[in-house]
Amino acid sequence: MKNKRIAVIGLGQFGSSLVRDLAHRKVEVLAIDKDSRKIQDVSEYCDDAMTLDILDEEAVRDRLEGVEVLVVCIGETPLPGILLTTIAKELGIQEIFVRSHGDTASNILEKLGATEIFSPEQKAAEHMALRLTVPHSVDSVPLAADQAIVKIAVPEHWVGRSIAEIGIRQNHVVNLICVCREGQSVADFSPSLEMPFKASDQVYLLGSKDRLEEL
């Protein structure tokens, strides 16, 4: 699977941790923050780290040229996310992830074209609530470096065909975890082998990154 060039802007606790984790996954990372001390802390982990004021729009555009994924982790105010999302869309950046600052800012970001608005605090709270109420619960599984779980739209050549007919495990060497069907709030973890896929279905698959990329 081709490595992406990912820019992470905002090196607080979450942003810095993200840079280090991405580096361990051998991803090409560009780290940006206005605080030179934070840049120094992560410079050994990433391919490119630089001190930059995001209000310098010309410099931001120059540095984001060629970036495929942008992650905005700035937590103080929603304005940087709005500015950076606008620039990223104009540059044709494929995926834009922006830290949440409430419903109003999230609605603006969605209209500007942000791919996803995320909240580390909300995710951590959900994980803790699950751990406190469901003994032995997990929200992740141990995977090898070349494995992944992905959620994708049903491949076009699967539409109208059943699980048995496709032979997902036998022919594609990936495991079907569940099927998400439009209009149903709960995923189907044990779909009938004879159930034909619909074009609107989404599936969770587990397998090697190379096999998943082929799909």
Q: pLDDT means per 10 residues in the chain (215 residues)?
A: 83 95 88 95 90 93 94 92 96 95 92 94 90 85 87 94 92 93 89 93 93 88
| Equal CATH topology for 5-125 and 147-214 | no
> What fold, for 147-214?
Alpha-Beta Plaits (3.30.70)
Q: Residue 70: which H helix or E strand, with range?
A: strand 69-72
What pLDDT, on the 0 to 100 scale, is given for residue 2?
A: 54
The domain spans of the chain are 5-125, 147-214
What pLDDT, on the 0 to 100 scale, is given for residue 92?
A: 95
**CATH code of domain 5-125:** 3.40.50.720
